[in-house]
Amino acid sequence: RQELLKWNGWGYKDSKFIFNKKGQAEFTGKRYRLGGMVLPTFKEWIEKTFGASLEHKTTSRASLNINDVPPSIVNEEFLQDLIATKISYSQDAEDRVFRAHGHCLHEIFVLREGMFKRIPDIVVWPVCHEDVVKIVELACKHNLCIIPFGGGTSVSSALECPEEEKRTIVSLDTSQMNRILWIDEKNLTACVEAGIVGQDLEKQLAESGFCTGHEPDSMEFSSLGGWVATRASGMKKNIYGNIEDLVIHIKMVTPRGIVEKNCQVPRMSTGPDIHHFIMGSEGTLGVVTEVTIKIRPVPEYQKYGSVVFPNFERGVACLREVAKQRCAPASIRLVDNEQFQFGHALKPQVASIFTSFLDGLKKFYITKFKGFDPNILCVATLLFEGDREKVLQHEKQVYDIATKFGGLAAGEDNGQRGYMLTFVIAYLRDLGLDYYVIGESFETSVPWDRVLDLCRNVKERIVRECKEKGVQFAPLSTCRVTQTYDAGACVYFYFAFNYRGISDPVHVYEQIERAAREEILANGGSLSHHHGVGKLRKRWMKESISDVGLGMLRSVKEYVDPNNIFGNKNLL
């Protein structure tokens, strides 16, 4: 898999945004619907939004410079013991660097221009639960540090090795533990090894006519064990639930031994649920090896949709009403105007005059006839799933509510494109980096009544902080409401700016991101909805869960892992 993926950016090697010889933007590869298409208005959007220009380019170095990589220091006795277990391992520099990071901006920046101070000394590939047990035993015996590695898509600095770690760091790559062990059609559960990647899991289940329905935006690369370790959330959680709703049973290997339950039941009252010590533990307690997860028959029918609202306020009010009536489709997302325009800029060249005529007509109808201001309006994208009949019924109910809030149906195609973009958008950062534009996303959850205030204030805070920190061009500061709940919503922010003229862009970026997080907390938002804490957001943990709360988590860690074998220093 490492062969297929970029070493210094997001996703597949063959998929990326480029500017072709004509200076037009294009997305390469055949993996996505956007692949091979020309995006005629994208260049202009980039120039207008960021003040970036094609003349000012920075390039990443082409490959890793092996000499820069910190040497692998591994105790000989441990190596002998490891070889005796026949578990495959590597001390190769590229293998180790590949597992030394997630996808935070500063990590990618280091890959492009510098080197990590500390990386794993050795990578091991267990192929089953028993292998993991052996590795953890060896680590305890030789006092090593283990950092579990799944898909490597962390955006919380969770995979970064603590610089001050003197012990040998073992990167435990779960990717070879990727089998579905069994499927139980009567109870609709499947027992799966934790290293399986999201898209493989869905593909293999689909062969038997099932799915988990868990689709985080990173599902092409992230792993089941990673989902459990970070309390992941999927796009279609309205039907299938978040990871904590999906999981029936977890097996985890800790320095104390194996933790699991004695049965696979929907619910039990046996004190605090031990699963909740594991979910969100971010690799600090042990390695999740096997997970029994709920499955569902693959839905008969899927339909995308979209609705245009005159402004963001009306859109949020509509989503709130949908949540209130508990009729949210599998997914419902509301993007603000900036993101709507961004999506617009990523529209591929239309093939026929007829389509472009139709587009023009639509635009005319919405802006002129209905009086929507193209600089204020916003769009909700929808995904319905289930029986055909029920989907259509459901669709009508949702569109009826939308109408009450001034919404206009804007077609299936726009909806589908919106969801496709969430996979593609991650590739954009690599393009931006080539042209002095850096950016990142972050998320939070917030009660309904504070959604609007939080969105407005955080966006404004970002703009102000940029100005204060000497960023010369106004930043892109945009948000979308991506999940609805009974009591609130999940809000996702994108933030990017042109850093020309700034000597230490990553530092400036981090200061601004920190200010934005402060703003979120001051507005009653959470520290994280699904990205997790890692090392990036640790400083706010005490404030988030109180001193005593933190103490409770610490005491669990102390019991389970007294010698800090799982020493990635996340969370606590």
Residues with catalytic annotation?
Answer: 492
Q: Which stretch binds another protein (CB under 8 A): 85-93, 285-293, 345-353, 447-455?
A: 447-455
Among 450, 469, 538, 557, binds another protein (CB under 8 A): 450
541 touching another protein, by CB under 8 A? no
154 has binding-site annotation: yes
149 has binding-site annotation: yes
Least separation in angstroms between residue 457's CB and another protein is: 5
Least separation in angstroms between residue 516's CB and another protein is: 13
Phi, psi for residue 288 in degrees, rounded to 5: -75, 125
CB atoms inside a 10 Å sphere around CB 482:
23
456 touching another protein, by CB under 8 A? yes
Alpha carbons 120 and 91: distance in angstroms, whole number:
9
For helices 105-113 and 412-434, angle between their N-to-C axes, nearest 10 degrees: 40
Contacting another protein within 188-247 (CB under 8 A): none
284 has binding-site annotation: yes
Q: Are 73 and 121 in contact (CB under 8 A)?
A: yes
Least separation in angstroms between residue 453's CB and another protein is: 5
Instruction: Please give the radius of gyration of the chain, using alpha carbons only, rounded to the nearest integer.
Output: 24
- List the one residue out of 511, 570, 470, 533 whose CA is nearest residue 106: 511
Least separation in angstroms between residue 507's CB and another protein is: 20
232 has binding-site annotation: yes
487 touching another protein, by CB under 8 A? no
CB atoms inside a 10 Å sphere around CB 387:
12
Q: How many CA atoms lie within 13 A of 246 on its CB side?
A: 30
449 touching another protein, by CB under 8 A? yes
Query: Please, which residue, 456 or 538, has the CB nearer to another protein?
Result: 456
485 touching another protein, by CB under 8 A? no
Any long-range contacts for 393-399 (C-beta under 8 Å, 24+ apart)?
394/327, 394/329, 395/303, 395/305, 395/329, 397/325, 397/327, 398/305, 398/322, 398/327, 398/329, 398/332, 399/305, 399/307
461 touching another protein, by CB under 8 A? yes
516 touching another protein, by CB under 8 A? no
529 touching another protein, by CB under 8 A? no
373 touching another protein, by CB under 8 A? no
387 touching another protein, by CB under 8 A? no
**Residue in the block written with tokens 């929907």:** 266
- List the one residue out of 328, 255, 202 whose CA is nearest residue 567: 255
Residues forming a β-bridge with 498: 437
Least separation in angstroms between residue 498's CB and another protein is: 24
Alpha carbons 202 and 238: distance in angstroms, whole number:
18
Q: Which stretch binds another protein (CB under 8 A): 8-16, 117-125, 203-211, 446-454?
A: 446-454
| Dihedral (CA of 263, 276, 217, 7) sign | negative
Alpha helices in 346-493 (DSSP H): 353-364, 388-404, 412-434, 451-468
Q: How many residues bind another protein (CB under 8 A)?
A: 13
Q: Are 459 and 419 in contact (CB under 8 A)?
A: no
Among 34, 108, 398, 454, binds another protein (CB under 8 A): 454
524 touching another protein, by CB under 8 A? yes
280 has binding-site annotation: no
Least separation in angstroms between residue 450's CB and another protein is: 7
543 touching another protein, by CB under 8 A? yes
523 touching another protein, by CB under 8 A? yes
Contacting another protein within 296-355 (CB under 8 A): none
Query: Kind and range of the H or E element at 200?
Result: helix 198-207
CA angle 456, 450, 495 (to 5 degrees): 35
Least separation in angstroms between residue 511's CB and another protein is: 14
453 touching another protein, by CB under 8 A? yes
The annotation places the binding site for FAD at: 148-154, 230-233, 282-288
The annotation places the binding site for substrate at: 429
Binding site for another protein (CB under 8 A): 449-450, 453-454, 456-457, 460-461, 521-524, 543
The annotation places the binding site at: 148-154, 230-233, 282-288, 429
